[in-house]
Amino acid sequence: MSYCKQFFVLAITLVVSLPGIASAQNSDIAVTPDPEIEPVHWAFSSFLGTGWYELDNNRQVYVLRIPPRWYFRDSSIDENGKRQLGIEFHFPLTFGLHKLEGIGDFLDFDNVGTVSFNPGIEIEYPVSERWLLRAFGHLGWGTQVDSSDRAWIYDAGAKSRYAFKHGKLDWGLVNGIFFAGYSARDTGQDKLGGFTAGLDFAYPLSLPSPGGTPLQIKWDIGYRWYENDLSFNRPIPPPDRVENEWEIGVALARQDGPIKIWFLKFEQMGLVYRFNSDGTFKAITVNFRSPLTR
């Protein structure tokens, strides 16, 4: 098995096998957990991405997001300043896997509690050779398999990256705004929005990849603020709320193109650690794309 395949298997194994990766502090009131209470509404699964979410002793939910993309064309700007828009079409399929106990049950359909499909488009505009703008929007539909709940799901936003270079180190300032929400048949509607700010870095390594291409290490640090708060339901009100998130990501990438495994292509491969300011929320997710395109 190649180094890239080993790294890929290790990343997935870490995310799936660590119980309670995302958690909130226990309530001071002793209650019997209601098995029908979900840590966070399932309709936000596609927006939040792959990870493990849990509150107190409620049921755990592992979110698996499969994000196929069709790259229609890349953005570019020539020496005369002529610009070409980059266009990507997204077809993310998201599963909520409930009460997952181990790798052996990873794709057992009995564990699939929610399914959603949220297609969309991303458009990239090169303002200059250093400055990129990226707008995105998704609209889709989802269902909770073990109930009659159905929901329309949407998200939209814009990101910006301004690039710098210092010797071999490439780095950039990344900012963005976002808005997401849902309208469900049985559980009403909700929305959240906010902004992101952070830095990303890339540095070449002397170690070549199995194919002989030089590798680079990438890392980033970012902050996300929720204007509406990310609400985690509890068996009794009020819900726990997450007002912000910090994230630290690290990954390996090839210097001349994407990492290819079988028929799959990845911009990079790594992990992201996410947490909020007071330490009540934590998560580990896979890291296949840069902060601008994540």
Q: What is the pTM of this model?
A: 0.75
Is 293 part of any domain?
no
Is 42 part of any domain?
yes
Residue 82's domain is classified under what CATH number?
2.40.128
The tally of CA atoms less than 13 A away on the side-chain side of residue 113 is 18
The better pLDDT of the pair 35, 239 is held by: 239
| 7-16, 112-121, 126-135, 259-268: the lowest-pLDDT one | 7-16
What is the residue range of 160's domain? 3-287
Is the Cβ–Cβ distance between 48 and 114 less than 8 Å? no
Show the beta-strand stretches assigned E in 167-280.
Answer: 169-184, 188-208, 214-232, 240-254, 259-261, 264-266, 269-275
Is 95 part of any domain?
yes
Is 294 part of any domain?
no
**pLDDT cut 90: percent of the chain above it:** 37
**Mean pLDDT in residue range 236-258:** 79
The better pLDDT of the pair 246, 16 is held by: 246
Instruction: Say how many domains are in the chain.
Output: 1
64: Cα separation from own chain's centroid: 10
pLDDT at 86: 95
Q: Return d(Cα 18, Cα 98) in angstroms, integer.
A: 14
